[in-house]
Amino acid sequence: MSEWFFQGNPLLAWPLVGLGIFVAAFLMVILYVTVVLRRDRDLERMAALPLDDGSAGEPEEGVVRA
């Protein structure tokens, strides 16, 4: 019965178009992250930044350190 209902329905192309747009955008983001950001000099500079917030060992207000 479902074959008869869906046969020749022009709206069935839209989910495939949406899937194609999603896959294309996903692949573009993956390529950007793996190719463009890997060559970027700012990435190396940001990776070398220290992880602390610059405080001189004083705990923040309300933070208890053991």
Query: How many domains does one find in the chain?
Result: 1
Question: Is residue 65, in this structure, part of any structural domain at all?
Answer: no
Give the residue numbers spanning the domain of 19.
Answer: 2-47
Instruction: Answer yes or no: pTM beyond 0.95.
Output: no
Question: Is residue 63, in this structure, part of any structural domain at all?
Answer: no
Question: Is residue 57, in this structure, part of any structural domain at all?
Answer: no
Pair of tokens at residue 36:
């463009």
Question: Is residue 17, in this structure, part of any structural domain at all?
Answer: yes
Dmax of the chain from CA atoms?
Answer: 73
41, 47, 49, 50 alpha-carbon torsion, rounded to 10°: -170
Question: Is residue 53, in this structure, part of any structural domain at all?
Answer: no
pLDDT digits 0-9 by tens, 4-47: 777 877 788 888 899 999 999 999 999 988 888 777 777 777 77
Question: Is residue 37, in this structure, part of any structural domain at all?
Answer: yes
